[in-house]
Each structure stands twice: as C-alpha cells, then as structure tokens.
Amino acid sequence: MSLDLAKWELPGDSPSQQVPVALLLAAAFFGLLLAVYTHAYVFATPIATQIPNPRLNSSLSRQHFRGLPIFVFHRLAKICVVSMFPMKDFSPLKYGFLNLTVELLLSYLRVANVLTILRQHSKTLPYSCRIPTWSMWSKAFTSILLYSTASSVCFYLPIYLIQLAGSLDERLGVSETVQFISLLGTIMVLYFGLVVPTYAIFIRVAASAQRGESMTIRGAWQGFSWSSRVHFYQLLGVVLFLEAGVTVVIVLSVFALCHPTVHDDVFQLFVRYFG
C-alpha cells in the first residue's frame, strides 16, 4: 500500500482549522530550535572547556541565548549561499562538499559564537580577546575543518544510503524495518563517534586561541577529562533527541500543509539548514 503525500489531506481540514495547526507547529518548531541552541552551544561550550558549574540557572534569562544573533546570522547566511545552487539533480556527495565549503567560509562566525558564550565565564579577559582575530581563527581552522567534515559525513552519508537502498530495494530483499534500524544505527555511530568528539575539540581549540595559546587537536582531546567527556556526550545526546523532535515537527508540517510542492520545498529547506 502506498501513500500519495501530494494529495494527502487531514480529515475535515478547512482554512479556519489549518491556521491554529500552523501556528502550533511553528511554535513547536521554534521552541525546539531554541532548546537545541541552548544545549548545543550555551551549555556545551563551558562543559567542553571544563569551566566549573557551567549550567545556568533554571529560570530563563538572556544568558541562555548568549550568542544567538551570531547563530541566526550564520544559519541565514548559510541558507542564502546554498540556495544559489540548484537542487534539481540532488547529489549527497556534491552537496556534502558544498556544505563543507560554506561552513569553512562562515567559520569566523563559529569562532565568534564560542568566544561570545565564553565571555560570561571570562569576565577578566580584555575586550580585545573576546572578538576573534585572524590569529585566533587561523589557530582554530584545522579543528573547524575536522568538525565540519564530520558533520557533513554524518548528515549526507545517511541520505546517500537512503537513495542507495531505494535503488537496490528489490535486489536487497531486506525489510524496511531492518533498513530503518541500520540507518538509525549508522547515524548514531557517526554522531557519537565523529561529530561529538570533533565538536568538543573545536570548542577547546577555539577557547585556547582566545587565551593566546596554540592547542593541537590531539592535545585538545587528551586534555579533555573523562568526567567532562561523559557530561558532554550526555548533553549532545539530548541535542540529538531535540533535533529528532525538530524533524518530527517538519514531517507533521508536510502532512498539515498539503501543498503539491511542499514536500520538495521542505526537504530543500531541511538540507540547507541542517546540512
């Protein structure tokens, strides 16, 4: 049994009913994104740099969203650049290299975001050390390249495997359940085996550059204490769960909007934002 998503409609849908649903989905989407940012950046940065008691107070405040404007500008700039390239003949390999290139071009903003978040924990630093300089960026470039490569592989390799499974579906003779479990396992291995450690290395190298030091990638990981690693992995596990929630909201939006081309549009936006 197949499902034609382009013609699928919610029972009893009408314009008056769709507006509250759209508002609810939009609120859930932006709420989850803010939660992702807070955990993946504001909480993760001090944990990676092993700052004592990095968690903020439970009450919501501006500190929970420190560096958010930089993050939003980075994402908007990334979407604008990637949108210049057509997706008619989508290739995971091609867009993987494109994503890596764009990330490197916007890497200054990545470093600026880390230093902005660390600013609340480093009040004694002179203001000049809180703005990325060419020296800071160059010291962190190798770690940025490593992290961006890991992120691209984690995102685009599963997409490639989905395409491959679709083209070999009849020959494989494997159930969709097995394919889904295999795909989920691949994502988990890539995320926790590549993305999480390289992200911690990037944060630690950028923080050392802020202090005028030059930390190697190997030294950044070896100097990361075991207890801090555990806390970091736990936190990034929460981030993965929250991002899964974002994906679920996007899928629900596809079903709720019921536009003939919305499925392709949402997929393209998903690739441009999360890629």
pLDDT tens figures, 81-113: 888 887 777 788 888 898 999 999 999 999 999
Alpha carbon 98 to its chain's center:
16
Residue, of 257 and 196, whose pLDDT is higher: 196
240 pLDDT more than 50: yes
DSSP 8-state symbol, 38: I
CA dist., res. 248 & res. 45, Å (int): 27
pLDDT, greater one: 120 or 190: 190
pLDDT-derived band of residue 11, with 50, 70 and 90 as boundaries?
Answer: very low
| Close Cβ partners of 84 (under 8 Å, ≥ 6 residues apart) | none
Angstrom distance (rounded) from CA 140 to CA 217: 9
CA 247 – CA 228 distance, rounded (Å): 29
> What is the distance between the alpha carbons of residues 48 and 39, in angstroms, rounded to a whole number?
12
Do 146 and 198 meet the contact criterion of CB atoms below 8 Å apart? yes
Cα dist from 91 to 44, 70, 79, 105, 163, whole Å: 32, 29, 17, 21, 10
Tokens standing for 154?
């984690």
Query: What single-letter DSSP state applies at residue 90?
Result: -
Q: What is the rounded CA–CA span in Å between residue 186 and residue 192? A: 10
Q: Quick one: pLDDT at residue 93?
A: 87
Q: On the CB side of 194, how many CA atoms lie within 13 Å of its CA?
A: 18
Per DSSP, 67 falls in state T
Which run of H or E residues covers position 164?
Answer: helix 134-167
Given a cut of 50, whether residue 232 has pLDDT beyond it is yes
What was the pLDDT predicted at 193? 96
Query: Is pLDDT at 6 greater than 50 in this prediction?
Result: no
* Sign of the dihedral defined by the CA atoms of residues 16, 17, 18, 23, in that order: positive
Question: Residue 19 pLDDT more than 80?
Answer: no
3-class DSSP assignment, residue 141: helix
